[in-house]
Amino acid sequence: MSMKHPIIAVTGSSGAGTTTVKHTFEAIFQRESVNAAIVEGDSFHRYTRAEMKALIEDAERTHLRGISHFGPEANLLAELESLLRAYGESATGRRRYYIHNEAESMRWNLPMGTFTEWEDLPVGTDCLFYEGLHGALVTDEVDVARHVDLLIGVVPIINLEWIQKLHRDTKLRGYTAEAVQDTILRRMHDYVHHIVPQFARTHINFQRVPVVDTSNPFIATSVPTQDESMVVIRFKDPRGVDFPYLLRMIHDAFMSRANTIVIPGGKLDLAMQLILTPLIWKLMERRRQWV
């Protein structure tokens, strides 16, 4: 962790909704005039899309479970930790981008599923913001979590997570439903061992729970909306959290435990603004005292 160069990380699995949370942070950064260096977790994948596909097919031909983006083998985790360490020490480091879709392909003039060249982070940023799979990861080889000042988990219940992934990957990324199901199954071991444990290390978790039937996510014709959901917000350390204020400001919110508030799904952006803005203020104030 760094007083002078703070790091914020949003972590969650593919299809969890971390990109939506990223947009909320970007809105806060813009409103509060915070100059953040944005780092995308997908840029630390080890392989291009074509290379990953070939490795999985080779493994499956020998009846082995192929690697997944959830696990250490398919990611440059030592490089991710090095970036966070360097930023915390001197606000330096290198990043690149992963080309997800046709729009990004046209922007960068690169094939989908490949990477841009590595580049230096912008000079003079106020903080680093990471959004991806491994913001709170700890393994025998790396400890990403120890470098992060504010850790946010985005954790919809798993059936909803699968529905969101199915709809995103089939409608926006051109995969078949069968291919997405295969990916979900192949990732399950890594999900249990490398994704789930991170949410015990996060400072705040946002978990969306639909109030409509999601019992068979593979036949769902639509993604439950925010208004068809509740959001469970868990604080690792509730000391200093003004729960009475949040209950007044967020209509129909209630406390389910001493460290947990439940809100209507449609109020998620408001809740995040109310909860996260003061935390960013504190990080920036602490930074100013050290500059």
Note the pLDDT tens digit of each residue in 67-117: 999 999 999 999 999 999 999 999 999 999 999 888 999 999 999 999 999
Q: How far apart are CA 277 and CA 78, in angstroms?
A: 31
Please tell me whether the overall predicted TM-score, pTM, comes out greater than 0.85 for this model: yes
The topology (CATH level 3) of 7-289 is: Rossmann fold (3.40.50)
Note the pLDDT tens digit of each residue in 202-258: 999 999 999 999 999 999 889 999 999 999 999 999 999 999 999 999 999 999 999
pLDDT at 158 over 70: yes
Q: How far apart are CA 157 and CA 15, in angstroms?
A: 11
What is the percent of the chain with per-residue pLDDT over 90, rounded to a whole number? 79
- Predicted confidence at residue 16, as pLDDT, reads 64
pLDDT at 1 over 70: no
Q: Which helix (H) or strand (E) holds 151?
A: strand 150-154
Taking phi first (over 0 means left), then psi (-120 to 50 degrees means alpha), and beta for anything else, what does residue 28 get?
alpha
**Strands, DSSP E only, in 72-126?**
94-95, 119-120
